[in-house]
Amino acid sequence: MISLLQRVSRAEVVVDGEQIGAIAVGLMVLVCAERGDTEKQADALLSKLLAYRVFADDAGKMNRSVTDVGGGLLLVPQFTLAADTRSGTRPSFTPAAAPEDGRRLFDHFVAQARLRHGEVATGRFGADMQVSLTNQGPVTFWLQVKPAVME
């Protein structure tokens, strides 16, 4: 599974003109399941994400996690993170999980996040979403837990 996390002072997702998810200070996280991913990869990625130290401590060093600072999580499904862009001028989405697997793993990821973390908002799987955010820093990191089976 792949995530692209951004440290934000605010972020929101709008679908059909309606705000469906929003956070203040925290992490806006694009989440993607790859072929071969299971709940094991989702759980490992979530553990890493919740512990990843991207917020400043009193000395100004990135030593605090979203859990440490009590920040929000805005989790947004984003299958294009798995795109293969190595050749040509059109991305291939073959590495991404099938839509039904992607939805199942995103839903699992969200459910586990809600069990383990305070504020969790989400985008909507398969929807045309407008995502806006104010990235603090900017601070952006790519986290990946490789699929169990690489085809």
Please provide the DSSP assignment of 48-106 as one string.
Answer: HHHH-EEEE-TTSSEEEEHHHHT-EEEEEE-GGGG-B-SSSSS-B-TTBPPHHHHHHHH
Residue 79 has pLDDT above 80, yes or no: yes
Q: What is the pLDDT of residues 10-35, one digit of tens each?
A: 999 999 999 999 999 999 999 999 99
Reported pTM: 0.94
Please give the average per-residue pLDDT across 61-74, as a whole number. 98
- State the DSSP code for 29: E
Whole-number Å distance between alpha carbons of 87 and 36: 23
Catalytic residue positions, numbered: 78-80
Whole-number Å distance between alpha carbons of 133 and 119: 17
pLDDT of res. 151: 43
Sequence-distant (≥ 6) Cβ neighbours of residue 59 within 8 angstroms = none
3 state DSSP class of 136: strand
Which residue type, as a one-letter code, is found at position 45?
L
Please give the average per-residue pLDDT across 96-107, as a whole number. 97
Nearest-CA neighbor of 123 among 131, 115, 114, 111?
131
Q: How confident is the model at residue 118 (pLDDT cuts 50, 70, 90)?
A: confident
